[in-house]
Amino acid sequence: MAATSMTGFARADGAHGDLAWHWEAKSVNGRSLDVRCRLPQGLESLEIGIRECAAKYFRRGNVQVALQLSRGVEAADVRLNEAVVEALIGLAEGLRKRLHSPPVRAEHLLALRGVLEIAEPVEDEAAAATRERAMFESLSTAFADLAAMRADEGRKIEAVIADQINRIAALTEAAKLSPERSPETIRARLVEQIARLLEAGASLDPDRLHQEAVIAAQRSDIQEEIDRLLSHVQASRDLLAGPEPVGRKFDFLAQEFNREANTLCAKAYGRELTRIGLELKSVIDQLREQVQNLE
């Protein structure tokens, strides 16, 4: 599939031993591949591997990756800080006597910072490497799901773009077949303009008048613009049918479409061609908006 969107969201969970994790990955439009990570403290070293993994799945887009960790309670070594507890009990007992309040409750003490000390288990290098491989396997799952979502969205965008290309082709053919392009119509228009000049009493040299009429006719010719538009239409269809990402190339084609439509509007010498040119510009603007979403 050539047309792939740059927007999507995916998540994946994993676990190794007592440690569980949750990956989230989302992407939006971007001129290149930009990966930003939000990692727990102490795991910043994973960022290089995350970027390398993302590059295997995506070429463009701003990709945001977040990692959350949780560890089983049974794995933690929970200890009571006796020194802190004794100090707190002494302070609480003194206040109780002064205020004549009930004795302090154990759950109140346990809720205070520093009373409980939780020592995380020490992980050797082999265990850390195994755990890291498992984490990247689940990250790959998240990236694969994100790529699938982007591809699915790309298919929808491709259908919209194909319809817009067909509309551009139809409007270009309408301009090509417009009666306002016929030599008779152009000749009548020039005769009318010349007649208005002669009625105004202008002194015109016949030879110079003939030269100006030829130049005016050439300037009004839109055949080159029609040929280029039709060529861009074919190039667009070839891109959609190809296997490679098309975002950057389509962005260039959209600019070229717009350039030819602007020139056609500038050369238009009748209401019908002007209407066609303005409608072309409208469709091309819609095309440019869709193209911004493509990888």
Strand 61-71's sheet: what is its strand order? Answer: 8-16, 19-28, 61-71, 33-38
In a domain, 3, yes or no: no
Q: Within 102-246, where are the H helices?
A: 106-110, 125-176, 183-199, 206-219, 223-241
Bridge partners (DSSP) listed for residue 61: 33
Rounded distance, CA 157 to CA 294, Å?
Answer: 8
Write down the pLDDT at residue 120.
59
Query: 109 and 215 share a domain?
Result: no
Query: 254 and 143 share a domain?
Result: no
In a domain, 126, yes or no: no
Query: 232 and 138 share a domain?
Result: no
Write down the pLDDT at residue 187.
67
Phi, psi (rounded to 5 degrees) for 11: -145, 160
In a domain, 281, yes or no: yes
Query: 51 and 100 share a domain?
Result: no
Write down the pLDDT at residue 183.
66
Determine the structural domain holding residue 59 and report its residue range. 8-73+131-150
Write down the pLDDT at residue 213.
59
Q: Render pLDDT for 265-285 as a digit per residue (tens, 0 to 9).
A: 988 878 899 999 999 999 999
Query: 13 and 135 share a domain?
Result: yes
Rounded distance, CA 292 to CA 31, Å?
Answer: 9
pLDDT along the chain (295 residues), means of 10: 86 92 96 95 93 96 95 64 81 79 79 72 78 96 97 94 97 91 69 67 60 62 92 94 87 94 88 93 96 91
Query: 29 and 139 share a domain?
Result: yes
Query: 286 and 235 share a domain?
Result: yes
Write down the pLDDT at residue 125.
83
How many CB atoms within 10 Å of residue 78?
Answer: 10
Query: 44 and 94 share a domain?
Result: no
Q: Which of 77, 149, 170 is nearest to 120 (CA)?
A: 77
Rounded distance, CA 192 to CA 175, Å?
Answer: 23
In a domain, 52, yes or no: yes
pTM summary value: 0.70
Write down the pLDDT at residue 99.
79
In a domain, 186, yes or no: yes
Q: Render pLDDT for 207-244 as a digit per residue (tens, 0 to 9).
A: 665 665 566 666 668 889 999 999 999 999 999 988 88
Rounded distance, CA 286 to CA 290, Å?
Answer: 7
Write down the pLDDT at residue 194.
66
Bridge partners (DSSP) listed for residue 62: 28, 34
- 171 CB-contact burial (10 Å; exposed 0-12 / middle 13-18 / buried 19+): buried
Query: 49 and 169 share a domain?
Result: no
Specify the residue for token string 């727990």: 40
In a domain, 282, yes or no: yes
Count of domains for the chain: 3
The enclosing domain of 18 has a CATH number of 3.30.230.10
In a domain, 124, yes or no: no
In a domain, 125, yes or no: no
Write down the pLDDT at residue 150.
96
Rounded distance, CA 136 to CA 141, Å?
Answer: 9
